[in-house]
Structure 1
Amino acid sequence: MANRERNEDDGKFTEEYPLEDFLDALDELGPSGTTDVSDYVGCDRRTAYLKLQALEDDGEITSRKVGNALLWELDE
């Protein structure tokens, strides 16, 4: 965790991959799988999955199963 940036106001670590990055990815890519989103954002697949799941829990995006994969998309 060396070299992680801290927020100047409260000293907490800044979020490396904000949720907005994942919304931007889906806006740019359209409906996409977890791997496509992780590649776009530049994070590992597990991080992307957890962030996408959090966005789905918040009602920002939806997912549907296509074969063995989850397809994520903005909730219009």
Structure 2
Amino acid sequence: MSRKREESGRYTETVTAADVLGVFELVDGPVVTSGDVAEACECSRETARRKLRALEDEGRVASRKTAGRVVWWIVDHDPDNGAPVDPDDPFWDLQPGASGERDVSESVDEILYGQ
């Protein structure tokens, strides 16, 4: 079977990022291997590894080598579930122990014991 080429002469993409991400919904468990992706997308393991690495470079999946195999999982970017910290958030400009008009460290006993 001959692969299709674009006008530029490059081969057309037959396995998309969406195809690879869809494999995570097909397998039992939270991780996939390049073999899982290759089988589901009907491509070579090398193509599957390339696609998974590209998704990892984009921060959409992560990987770990275990027992001689690399396993991949989807990175959760849910803002309510540990989203990456924004170093430009004004929260980080607050001084430690500062609370409103006066420094908490000056009135710990009063705050804790009502004195």
Which residue matches 1:41? 41
TM-score by length of 1: 0.79
What's the secondary structure of 1:59's corresponding residue? coil
Which residue matches 2:19? 21
Q: Which amino acid aligns with 1:53?
A: R
The separation in 2 between residues aligned to 1:58 and 1:51, in whole angstroms, is 11
> What is the RMSD of the two structures over their aligned residues, measured on CA atoms?
2.0
The separation in 1 between residues aligned to 2:31 and 2:40, in whole angstroms, is 13
The total of aligned residue pairs comes to 72
Question: Structure 1 stretches of 5 or more lacking a match?
Answer: none
The separation in 2 between residues aligned to 1:64 and 1:33, in whole angstroms, is 10
Higher relative contact order, chain-length normalized (CA < 8 Å, sep 6+): 1
Q: Greater share of strand residues, 1 or 2?
A: 1
Which residue matches 1:68? 68
Question: Structure 2 stretches of 5 or more lacking a match?
Answer: 77-115
- Cα offset, 1:14, TM superposition: 3.9
Based on CA coordinates, which of the two structures has the bigger radius of gyration? 2
Q: 1:47 to 1:3 in 2, by over 3 A?
A: closer
